Amino acid sequence: MKKQSLTYLLTGIIVLSSYTVSAQDSVLASANGIKVPVGYKNWRVIGVSHRTDNNSLRAIVGNSIAINAVQTGNTKPWPKGSILGKLVWHDSQHPHWDEATVPGNLSHIEFMIKDSVKYNATGGWGYARWKGMKLTPYGKNASFANECFNCHKAVENNDYVFTKPAELP
Amino acid sequence: MKKQSLTYLLTGIIVLSSYTVSAQDSVLASANGIKVPVGYKNWRVIGVSHRTDNNSLRAIVGNSIAINAVQTGNTKPWPKGSILGKLVWHDSQHPHWDEATVPGNLSHIEFMIKDSVKYNATGGWGYARWKGMKLTPYGKNASFANECFNCHKAVENNDYVFTKPAELP
pLDDT in tens, chain A (169 residues): 444 444 444 444 443 333 333 445 678 999 999 999 999 999 999 999 999 999 999 999 999 999 999 999 999 999 999 999 999 999 999 999 999 999 999 999 999 999 999 999 999 999 999 999 999 999 999 999 999 999 999 999 999 999 999 999 9
For residue B129, the chain A residues in CB contact (below 8 A) are: none
User: How far are the Cα atoms of A140, B19, B36, B60, B154 from residue A98, in angstroms, in the given order?
Assistant: 39, 40, 30, 18, 12
Is B10 in CB contact (< 8 Å) with chain A? yes
Nearest CA in chain A to B42: A44
Q: Tell me the nearest-neighbour CA distance from B109 into chain A, angstroms.
A: 9
pLDDT at position A25: 64
pLDDT for B25: 64
Closest chain B C-alpha to A121 CA, distance in angstroms = 22
Q: Is it the case that residue B21 has pLDDT exceeding 90?
A: no
Calculate mean pLDDT across residues B100-127: 98
Give the model's pLDDT for residue A26. 77
Percent of chain B with pLDDT over 70: 85
Task: Quote the minimal CA–CA distance from B152 to chain A in Å.
Answer: 10
DSSP for residue B120: G
Q: What is the dihedral of CA A91, A113, A121, A129, to 10 degrees?
A: -30
> Which pTM was predicted?
0.86
The H-assigned helical ranges of B23-159 are 64-71, 144-152
Q: Do A64 and B162 touch (CB under 8 A)?
A: no
B93 C-beta neighbours (distance < 10 Å), count? 12
Mean pLDDT of B104-129: 98
With an 8 Å Cβ cutoff, are B47 and A87 in contact?
A: no
Q: Say whether B98 sits in a helix, a strand or coil.
A: coil
Nearest to A75 by CA among A89, A87, A60: A60
Please, which pLDDT band fits residue B24 given cuts at 50, 70 and 90?
low
Is there a contact between A41 and B168 if contact means CB atoms under 8 Å apart?
Answer: yes
**A18·B41 Cβ contact <8 A:** no
Closest residue in B to A21 (Cα–Cα): B169
* Euclidean distance between CA atoms A57 and B23, whole angstroms: 32
Asked if residue B53 has pLDDT above 50, the reply is yes
Mean pLDDT, residues B57-64 taken together:
98
HSE, CB side, 13 Å, CA atoms: give it for residue B21: 18
Interface of B with A in 85-114 (CB under 8 A): 87, 89, 94, 96-97, 99-103, 105-106, 109
Q: Chain A: residue nearest B7 by CA?
A: A15
**Which residue does chain A place closest to B36, by CA atoms?**
A169
Chain A partners within 8 Å of B27 (Cβ): 169
Taking the CA of residue B142 and the nearest CA in chain A, the distance in Å comes to 24
Contact residues on chain B for A39, CB-CB shorter than 8 A: 6, 10
pLDDT the model gives residue B26: 77
